[in-house]
Structure 1
Amino acid sequence: MNLPLPDVSLTERAATLSPLQWVGMQGIDLPVILAEPGYQRELHARIDAQVDLPAPYVKGIHMSRLYRLLDEQTGGRELSPGHLQQLLQAMVDSHRDCESRSARLNVRFDLLARRKALISAGLAGWKAYPVHVEATLREGVMQLQLTVTVGYSSTCPCSAALARQLIEQGFERAFAGQTAIAPAVISAWLRQHATLATPHSQRSEAVVRVDVAADAPAFGMFSLIDAVEQALGTPVQTAVKRADEQAFAALNGQNLMFVEDAARRIQAALSERFSHAHIHVRHLESLHPHDAAAWAAPSL
């Protein structure tokens, strides 16, 4: 029982001598404490952690060292850009015997936020925003990117125009030959027939990636999410009553958009506030069995 345990990563050489770009673990379950302005909550995260392996003769890295570092340095500490930089440097330092010089972390979790109803006072519900934080340390310099996924509703402008035409034609047939129509009669017809045709709409999503400064005090997740939702105007709702559902219908009617419109709206809203915004929007079509999608990236 007192014999030393073998460690072939130290005593054996790699059969094929070549450097490796990244080596490590994926999908580590850990709790993280997220502290953004006005928000602090412990969240379940899945973390990928890797270091480079430039030494071709080293058989393998020390996975357990990486795991212990993550466990020790995420427990009870708030996740921040500064914290990630310290953790990345500790990962590199722990693998000096492997000649590692770089490290990277991918942190994924759902940002759980309470959102108010559009109209009903005191009514609110929970919404989850998928978040991905990617941090890479090379030569002591950290690059940090934040990706958020935001759900919204999209109503097709073309479909809306076609629906309006059918309603117009129905109105003309109903009142053909009449030169004077009382407003009450028109109102009654609209209540019964204004949905003679309805435009198609669907749940949609925007995936937005921006750069975050290494010395930023926080990631700015809610600032980014709010900017995207405000640009689109139709964020999906949680708890609703009929008044809220009606208000949501009005928002959709006032914010008709193709997938191209959605991408351009987000791009315009983020251009001056966030660095190097990459945008991917997807409309999960109710007309088609396939999705409509658009991408936008910073101009070269």
Structure 2
Amino acid sequence: MSTDLPDVASNEASQISVPLEWVGMSQIDLPINLPEPGCPGPVHMVVDAQVNLPSVRVKGIHMSRLYRMLNEMSQQDAMAPEHLRTLLERMVESHHDCYTNGARVMLTFSLLARRPALRSPELSGWKAYPVQLEAKLYQGTFSLNASVEVEYSSTCPCSAALSRQLVANGFREQFAESTELAKEDVVAWLEKNATLATPHSQRSIACVSVDVPGTARDFGLMTIVNLIEEVLATPVQTAVKRADEQAFARLNGQNLMYVEDAARRIQNALSTGYENLSTHVRHQESLHPHDAVASASEGFMGLSDGR
């Protein structure tokens, strides 16, 4: 009995003459060691890996070859941008018989980082930051893009102003007949009535995408996360005591922001250090059943006279 196994993909030709942009696999689970400060590894990544199939006669690609390469990458001590380029080059080379000249991988995962409480030195907790890395190689040109998501709290400036007006009106009504007020009377009234009205706040999400140089030593993902949290100033918290919750309330009160404000803060803060910067923010409104969104990208040009 023959030990040769049939290879339909190699020995048969396609009967339909249509080139394919991408062919491969998706949703591959892999443990990858990713050197990011404060983030333990390995990281559970879900990977898509594909090559192009420009030949209209080739019936199918060699998917098992792609999987074996990914499996080898999972055994590395630390993944860097150069490793993704090498992987893509190997993917293309392994499909020379398919006339392949392009490859791409998409890696989706979450970075877990321990974050300290705002006021309690003994408290900290884990936060997850969703990340997506997309690397492409086409006709020898390599590109790498990183997208990260950061959750934060946003308090509406308009709602805050309306709330302050109601509190001020309540104060005037309460002391309309008073000609002299002691400081203790004002403090007592504020402690009881300062929440006569409160502005609406909501959990919000910033998604930021940048290009990563192929020559970079690492992906710099936590650096991007830290910059976003710093410029927005109100990142969501993990473990808290009352002192930490009060500090969080103060941060929100000192950083009122519309969705437009958040997008502009991020775009302005990161525009000088990153290429192909794109920002999308979403405020999951507590006032409305719909969200407020704003986007900005490096390629968009507004009115040149500042209007």
Give the TM bin, normalised by the shorter chain.
over 0.9
Of 68-77 and 279-288, deviating more is 68-77
TM-score computed with the length of structure 2 as normaliser: 0.95
Where do 5+ consecutive residues of structure 2 fail to align?
A: 301-307
What amino acid maps onto 1:288 in structure 2? H
Where do 5+ consecutive residues of structure 1 fail to align?
A: none
Distance 1:255 1:62 in 2: 54
Distance 1:296 1:63 in 2: 38
Distance 1:44 1:184 in 2: 58
SS in 1 for 2:41: strand
- Percent identity among equivalent residues? 57
| Aligned match of 2:226 | 226
What amino acid maps onto 2:73 in structure 1? Q
Distance 1:219 1:9 in 2: 37
| Aligned match of 2:62 | 62
Distance 1:286 1:36 in 2: 34
| Aligned match of 1:42 | 42
TM-score computed with the length of structure 1 as normaliser: 0.98
The structure richer in strand per residue is 1
The equivalences for 1:180-191 within 5 A come to: 180-191=180-191
Query: Residue 82 in 1 paired to residue 82 in 2?
Result: yes
What amino acid maps onto 1:66 in structure 2? L
Query: Residue 110 in 1 paired to residue 110 in 2?
Result: yes
C-alpha RMSD of matched pairs (Å): 1.1
Distance 1:84 1:221 in 2: 16
Which consecutive aligned stretches of 4+ in structure 1 deviate over 3 angstroms post-superposition? 37-40
Query: Residue 210 in 1 paired to residue 210 in 2?
Result: yes
SS in 2 for 1:79: coil
| Aligned match of 2:200 | 200
Once the 2 structures are TM-superposed, how far is the Cα of residue 299 of structure 1 from its aligned partner?
Answer: 3.9
| Aligned match of 1:252 | 252
| Aligned match of 2:303 | none
SS in 1 for 2:237: coil
Distance 1:40 1:202 in 2: 30
The CA deviation string for residues 256-282 of structure 1, in whole angstroms up to 9 with x for no partner, is 000000000001110111112100000
SS in 1 for 2:5: coil
SS in 2 for 1:158: helix
Once the 2 structures are TM-superposed, how far is the Cα of residue 147 of structure 1 from its aligned partner?
Answer: 0.3
The CA deviation string for residues 202-224 of structure 1, in whole angstroms up to 9 with x for no partner, is 00000000011010001111111
Distance 1:130 1:299 in 2: 24
The equivalences for 1:11-50 within 5 A come to: 11-37=11-37, 39-50=39-50
